[in-house]
C-alpha cells in the first residue's frame, strides 16, 4: 500500500488569490481601517493617514527579512525591548596551583605537535630553515658575463623569487 507524503510542509497554502490567509487578514485589516476612517475624517487627513497605514499592512503581509516574515521580527523585537535583561557576573578566585597546572598542560600539548612550530617559522622567518627550504645559489651570478645573461630572477605569484634560465628565440 502506497501513501502520498507531503513535500512542502513549510509553505503556506494560497487561499485567497496570491495571498495566504494570514496575508489576506493583514491586508483586509488595513483596508477596513482606512474604509472606516474615510467616514470620520476630512479627505486631506484621510489621504495623509491612508498611505502609511496601507504601507505598513502590506509590508506586514508580504515583506520578509532573511526569510523570516516581518510580523515575527516585529514580535521578537517588541519582546526584546519589553522584557527585562538580567546579566549576572560572578568573580571567581583562581588558585596559583591551578595556574601552574594550566601552564604545564599547555607545554605538554605544544611538545606533542607533530611539526612543532616549523610552519609558523616558515611563514614568518626571513632566513631559510636548513634541510627544509631551497636556497638560491649566488654562485650563478659569479660566472662570466655571457653566462650571466642566460639566467634571470623572477618573482612568482606567491611572492617567492626563483632563478630561471632565459631563452630568447629570434
Task: Return d(Cα 68, Cα 1) in angstroms, integer.
Answer: 38
Q: pLDDT tens-digit profile of 109-151?
A: 555 555 666 666 666 656 665 655 555 555 555 555 554 456 7
Q: How far apart are CA 124 and CA 112, in angstroms?
A: 22
Instruction: List, in order, residues 6 or more apart from 12 with CB less than 8 Å away.
Output: 20, 21, 22
Q: How far is CA 45 from the centre of its chain?
A: 46
Please give the average per-residue pLDDT across 96-121, as a whole number: 61
pTM above 0.75, yes or no: no
Of 13-27, 77-91, 106-120, 154-168, least confident by mean pLDDT is 106-120
Look up residue 114 and give its DSSP letter: S
> What pLDDT was estimated at residue 167?
67
Please state at what angle helix 43-62 crosses helix 21-40, rounded to 10 degrees: 170
Instruction: Give residue 168's pLDDT.
Output: 61
Residues 70-93 pLDDT 10s: 999 999 999 988 888 777 666 666
DSSP reduced 3-state for 2:
coil
Closest CA to 53 of 78, 28, 71: 28
Amino acid at each position: 500500500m502506497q501513501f502520498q507524503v507531503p513535500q512542502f510542509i513549510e509553505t503556506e497554502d494560497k487561499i485567497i488569490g496570491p495571498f495566504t490567509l494570514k496575508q489576506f487578514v493583514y491586508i483586509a485589516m488595513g483596508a477596513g481601517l482606512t474604509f472606516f476612517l474615510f467616514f470620520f475624517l476630512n479627505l486631506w487627513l484621510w489621504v495623509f493617514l491612508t498611505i502609511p497605514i496601507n504601507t505598513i499592512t502590506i509590508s506586514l503581509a508580504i515583506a520578509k527579512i532573511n526569510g523570516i516574515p516581518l510580523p515575527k521580527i516585529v514580535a521578537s523585537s517588541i519582546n526584546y525591548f519589553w522584557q527585562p535583561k538580567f546579566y549576572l557576573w560572578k568573580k571567581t578566585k583562581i588558585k596559583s596551583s591551578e595556574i601552574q597546572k594550566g601552564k604545564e598542560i599547555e607545554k605538554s600539548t605544544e611538545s606533542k605537535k607533530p611539526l612543532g612550530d616549523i610552519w609558523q617559522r616558515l611563514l614568518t622567518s626571513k632566513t631559510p630553515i636548513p634541510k627544509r627550504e631551497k636556497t638560491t645559489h649566488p654562485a650563478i651570478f659569479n660566472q662570466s658575463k655571457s653566462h650571466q645573461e642566460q639566467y634571470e630572477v623572477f618573482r612568482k605569484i606567491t611572492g617567492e623569487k626563483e632563478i630561471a634560465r632565459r631563452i630568447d628565440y629570434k
